[in-house]
Amino acid sequence: MTHLPARRLLLVHAHPDDETINNGATMAKYAAEGAHVTLVTCTLGEEGEVIPPELAHLAPDRDDTLGPYRVRELAAAMAELGVTDHRFLGAPGRYRDSGMMGLPQNDRPDCFWQADLDEAATHLVGVVREIRPQVLVTYDENGGYGHPDHIQAHRVAMRAADLAADPGFRPDLGEPHTIGKIYWNCLPRSVVEAGFARLREAGLTFGGIASAADLPGLVGDAEVAARVDGRPYAAEKSAAMRAHATQIAVDGPFFALSNDLGQPLLVEEFYRLVRGEPGPGERPENDLFAGVEGPGTAEVGA
């Protein structure tokens, strides 16, 4: 029998780096506060574009060794965030990165986009019933911005939440567990636009500036259910982003992906609540666990 902390947070992401870009400050905050933070990453990100020229040989059309390299980047990022429980869906490399929507890689039989939904979700059911999280964080139904692996991660996370709660589903995977609150990542348009205004004023070194419309999960302010103030964890988030060096270039409070278009590095992180009730207190909520924090520790495992 293992004892886990009273507060347990599960995040489901598509590729190494998505967790830090979307939720790095949230993960650092809850880890620092003693919550159990579990990250499940669905692919190794084998199809990512490589930024540093000296690492270009890792690319899928050359050595095709970007996946194992990104496993190490993710481990380094998690060390920066203080997160010790990070896993890959099924096993490392079980599902391959599907590449951007419309590419031939989408049709590879081993890619995540082609995965059987219930089979993929079953791997996650085992994690849910083991960790018994009160809170799940994943993407919206468009995966934030339409990448097939993000859409699939959304589907797998939502399906696993349902299956994990169903006492008739695979009792061998543990006692059923209902996740109290499910959040989807989002970005309020007002915050993003203010961030881009800072970026234009700063005049930085990237090749250009992204547009707000390129960012995932843009919503109106009224749709934001929770805002996590990660400002005390800005340094941790920035360091974790730097750890994903094949994918992210960081310049102070800004960063760019492989398109070399600058965007603001946000340390306040935003969520829509799609299952469960908001906790008592202020709106938007400032604590993902508001209203669902369980008493004491959980006894998990056999």
Compare residues 183 and 289 and give the one whose CB is closer to Zn ion.
183
Is the Cβ of residue 15 or residue 129 nearer to Zn ion in the bound state? 15
Query: Closest distance between Zn ion and the C-beta of residue 247, in Å?
Result: 9
Contact predicate 87/39, CB 8 Å: yes
Distances 85 to 38, 131, 182 between C-alpha atoms, Å: 5, 10, 19
Residue with nearest beta carbon to Zn ion: 15
The answer to the question of whether 177 is labelled as a binding residue is no
How many residues sit close enough to Zn ion to count as binding (CB under 5 A)?
3
Site track 153-182 with Zn ion (rule: CB under 5 A), x = hit: ------------------------------
- Contact, 217 vs 146, CB < 8 A? no
Pick between residue 15 and residue 181 the one whose CB is nearest to Zn ion.
15
Residue 35 or 66: which CB sits closer to Zn ion? 66
Please state the closest distance from residue 76 (CB atom) to Zn ion, in A: 18
Residue closer to Zn ion (CB basis): 70 or 132? 70
Q: Is 149 annotated as a binding residue?
A: no
- Residue 207 CB, shortest distance to Zn ion, in Å, is 21
Query: Could you identify the residue written with the tokens 């890792």?
Result: 58
* Minimum gap (Å) between residue 149 Cβ and Zn ion: 6
Instruction: Say whether 18 counts as a known binding-site residue.
Output: yes
Residues 9-48 that bind Zn ion (CB under 5 A): 14-15, 18
Beta bridge partners of 138: 184
Nearest-approach distance from CB 153 to Zn ion, in angstroms: 8
User: Which residues of the chain form contacts with Zn ion (CB under 5 A)?
Assistant: 14-15, 18
Binding positions for Zn(2+) are 15, 18, 150
Binding positions are 15, 18, 150
